[in-house]
A and B are shown apart, each in its own frame.
Chain A
């Protein structure tokens, strides 16, 4: 992908192509025929009421759930059937809805763990602790500290991560996901539990990392302010199906979306 391409110019090959993605949990249909195409450099939002199946879509893209049907193509390769760690190594990083950090480790260690796949030294170098080991290890520290600087977490570097405030923990998760060196970043409700000031900072930060790290971002969010403020395209889901697509303006005026969020009566009033 070309980093100089201005975002939202939908050109070239798509980065992610999700086709007819379907997931059944027993008899329950969580996601039905979900389609989505994301081009390099885009910032796309996925919204919908609780239980609409947004996180299930994420979990299928990242390999935690095996789709019942459908395909997930990333850079033209079908990822269905890959192990989650293989998908991450292919270039998809993610955060979690309910924060999943390595609680008893320091902030720096949390970020350093994500560099494991690209650490560049093996078990033998580790045991004899040779020059290659210390050199690569220093590189990892350097890169981790760069990321912590970007996420404004430098001063928490050596804190145990579970002692951090909620908003900071969210940022550690984003820093950790970026340490996987992804092309596509999936953010699952990054603003959940944040106060309005933190949300503003977060929106800036997401814009900043998208522009400076040449990332493509897909995010799930409940806070309309965040989604409408930063996403260029939005897909709306309800009961496992896509009910609307478009830019923020179109989505705000879409009666189906209003109905899904506020109920039938509200749609008529609007």
Chain B
């Protein structure tokens, strides 16, 4: 066996993990001050921003080929993007399961919804059809407004049966969808001439507007996944945790079946059903993958360290106590489920535009266990652990093992599905709380409040 290949791939895993620890350390720097004349200026925010920029540039540089040499090969580039989208999916699931305690197997369903939605928008766009963007855009925004409006209206009514409110939401969303379809039919003829066709790209099909469309597509895909999760979660989240897991597993299977039959029972011939959707523009660059990943990480971290985050964790710890502390448990569960699915949808959009080919097999419920394995491996309730595990898992399973086993024979890479469960088993025996437990690092760490001196006046006189 080639020992250098082995060594190099292990070095890559260590390097990528070290990279994130460095990045989060720089982002977590606080209270850094410099003297400028007489004034002291807090430059920590500047340092943090520069750190993120440097983090982006380092990998960008490593990816840039100088002559025929690049530090990270095309193969590594693929791993990197795959890992970035996996971070988003896994962080979303960690919010649902690790922080809120709702055992969900539906994450890959939302991942798939996000991937197919975003891919459909850009695929139609480059082929001279703007309807995808218009319908999905108007549909998600209108749907969101309708849902928020109904929510406001219902908040005045107490003890409304879940199914009745669900029916209201469903009708509202359907109306929003119908309006969006008609708006698409009406507006598309005005936009389409600007797009040109595949042979002669129009004004809106040049690089810059294309990336803008890509950005919108990913965001809309995320919001769409979030809205679907809202409608699905509303009735289902009232089930207990185990039953909720089974219901979400069912959801993944439903999404998978719809994907397989997307050209027959759904009106999307371009998705080509079980044969897989080809010709998706490969728009994901390291910039976008990094951008969306950081967006998800920062949003998640801001939520977790806030009062909302604490209420999410309190539901995991003890539902009855949380209720008695004035926390609306049903709403908290729904919120974390929707935000988790939003992250998954965004991850799906990034994934679809990196790989350029979507097949339903990639969103099967069996591979749907991957994010679950990652968050358990990294530690439930640890963002750092999830990110480390996502990158480690992808680089180990798809990188190291594939490379090494590929050297033995062409069939040998299949053995990695024997080797990695064994690794998991070993970890669970040695460290059942996962790699990091609930420890966080640097930027992701919540601020530890220092003790303060007790005020003498408030002291209780004790016997």
Contacts and interface: CB of A to CB of B under 8 A. Distances in A.
A89 interface: yes
B324 A116 contact: no
B307 interface: yes
A88 interface: yes
Interface string A88-131: 11000110100011111100110011111101010100111100
Contacts, number: 140
B318 A121 contact: no
Interface string B352-381: 000000000000000000000000000001
A116 B307 contact: yes
Given A126-B302, A149-B455, A155-B451, A113 B311 contact: yes
A241 B189 CA distance: 77
B448 to A, nearest CB: 6
A104 to B, nearest CB: 6
Given A105-B313, A112-B307, A200 B463 contact: yes
The listed residue with most A CB atoms (<10 A of its CB), out of B302, B306, B381, is B306
Contact of B321 (A81, A96, A205): A96
B236 interface: no
Contact of B328 (A85, A104, A108, A149): A85
A133 interface: yes
Interface in B319-341: 320-329, 335
A270 B158 CA distance: 52
Interface string A216-258: 0000000000000000000000000000000000000000000
B438 A104 contact: yes
B320 A154 contact: no
A89 B326 contact: yes
A154 B451 contact: yes
A268 to B, nearest CB: 38
Contacts of A200: 462-463
Interface residues on A, range: 35 or more
Measured as residues with beta carbon below 8 angstroms from the partner, the interface class of chain B is 35 or more
A150 B307 contact: no
A201 B451 contact: no
Interface string A167-179: 0000000001101
A82 B311 CA distance: 20
A200 B463 CA distance: 7
A84 B307 contact: no
A152 B460 contact: yes
Nearest to A120: B307
B418 interface: no
A221 B302 CA distance: 42
A113 B460 contact: no
Contacts of A146: 458
Nearest to A197: B463
A102 B458 contact: no
Interface stretch (A31-39, A44-52, A137-145): A137-145
A123 B334 CA distance: 14
A197 to B, nearest CB: 8
A114 B454 contact: no
A115 B329 contact: no
B35 interface: no
A117 B326 contact: yes
A157 B438 CA distance: 18
A141 B449 contact: yes
A71 interface: no
Contacts of B60: none
Contact of B449 (A83, A114, A119, A157): A157
A204 interface: yes
B309 to A, nearest CB: 8
B310 A127 contact: no
B158 A129 contact: no
A170 to B, nearest CB: 14
A260 interface: no
B44 interface: no
Given A149-B455, A154-B454, A84 B323 contact: yes
28 contacts: A81-B158, A81-B159, A83-B158, A96-B324, A100-B324, A101-B317, A102-B321, A103-B318, A104-B317, A105-B314, A109-B310, A112-B307, A112-B310, A113-B322, A113-B327, A116-B310, A116-B326, A117-B325, A123-B335, A126-B308, A127-B302, A133-B306, A140-B307, A152-B462, A154-B454, A157-B451, A158-B451, A180-B326
The 7 closest A-B pairs by CB, nearest first: A102-B317, A117-B326, A88-B326, A100-B321, A84-B323, A119-B307, A126-B306
Interface of A: 62, 64, 81-86, 88-89, 93-94, 96, 100-105, 108-109, 112-117, 119, 121, 123, 126-129, 133, 137, 140-141, 145-146, 149-150, 152, 154-155, 157-158, 176-177, 179-180, 197, 200-201, 204-205, 208
Given A85-B327, A116-B326, 6 more contacts: A84-B320, A88-B324, A113-B307, A113-B313, A113-B327, A197-B463
